[in-house]
Amino acid sequence: MTAVTTGPGGRPDGAALILGSTAAITARNLRRLVRVPTLLVFATVQPVLFVLLFTYTFGGAIHAPGVTRYIDYLLPGILVLAIGFGASQTGVAIAEDLTTGMIDRFRSLPVPGAAVLAGRVIADALRNLFVAALMIAVGAAIGFRFHAGPAAALAAVALAVATGVAFSWLNLLLGLAVRDPESAGLAGLFPVIILFFTSSALVPVATMPGWLQAFARANPVTVITGALRALCLGGPTARPAAEAAAWLAGLLAVAVPAAVARYRHATST
């Protein structure tokens, strides 16, 4: 048992510790992603189902402006939906870590809270990159095409992933606040469902009753979907992209410091 008392080597400080621990937490969450069945379903089956179900149920009835195929109009919207649904699992996971004592363990180690939370968000961003690629591939198989060139296509994927990052931070805050995995899941899904159906994700805002149009236009899902559509379909992109970026920056400015502050005092009892 001699090794127990002799230190196993130097302990780096500052940046090295933060980077190393963020990488370790990211690796842990990526492993969970492929090993926990519900996470795997949220990352694979659900996005594919969204593409196919929405295309074949609404596709015949809705005639969206400016596109010949509904899938071109739909895909940006359901990208936001799939990423929003997936992000609810971020809140579930952090609440689970709280109740199982994993957060207690992390907090008893010299790891900054930001590293624990960032490690989760980075793993989620990689998952969302995969989700976006999968949905685009399935969409392409049934007729989806990028119409604004490869640079805009890449920018669309980047915006989708950035949206996921903002949603993940919001769900981290939720999960740390409600502290119960099931409540965190519901609390994470509910706003996404409401915002999704009151946005331009499925239908043009102009088809909605007047009183809803004002809300739908301000809805962040409409704004982000609008920017994604501009990047996918072509047309003016600067203004929608700037609006979407402003929404995401605003959400992050609130959620990141609040989540880090919550984490600092989070404990399982």
Partner 1 sequence: MTDAAIVAEGIGKRFGPVPALDGVDLVLPAGGVLGLLGPNGAGKTTLVRVLATLLRPDRGRARVAGFDVADQPREVRRRIGLSGQYAAVDPFLTGQENLVMIGRLCGLSARQARRRAGDLIGQLDLAGTAGRLVRAYSGGMRRRLDVAASLVAAPPVLFLDEPTTGLDPRGRLALWQVLGELAGTGTSVLLTTQYIEEAERLASMIMIIDHGTVIASGTPGQLRDRAGGDRLDLQAAPGEDPRHLAGALAPLGTGEPVVDEAAGRVILPVADLAASLPAVAARLAAAGLHVSALAVRRPTLEEAFLAVTGQPAGPSAPGPDAACPPAARPGPARRTRSAR
Q: Which residues bind partner 1 (CB under 8 A)?
A: 1-13, 16-17, 20-21, 23-25, 27-28, 31-32, 35-36, 100-102, 104-111, 265, 267-269
Which CB sits closer to partner 1, 44 or 198? 44
Query: Pick from 69, 103, 72, 80: which is nearest to 181 by CA?
Result: 103
Which CB sits closer to partner 1, 9 or 210? 9
Which CB sits closer to partner 1, 28 or 217? 28
Which CB sits closer to partner 1, 113 or 164? 113
Q: How far is the CB of 173 from partner 1 (least distance, A)?
A: 20
Which CB sits closer to partner 1, 17 or 142? 17
Q: How far is the CB of 44 from partner 1 (least distance, A)?
A: 17
Q: How far is the CB of 100 from partner 1 (least distance, A)?
A: 6
Q: How far is the CB of 269 from partner 1 (least distance, A)?
A: 7
Which CB sits closer to partner 1, 63 or 105? 105
Q: How far is the CB of 95 from partner 1 (least distance, A)?
A: 15
Q: How far is the CB of 99 from partner 1 (least distance, A)?
A: 9
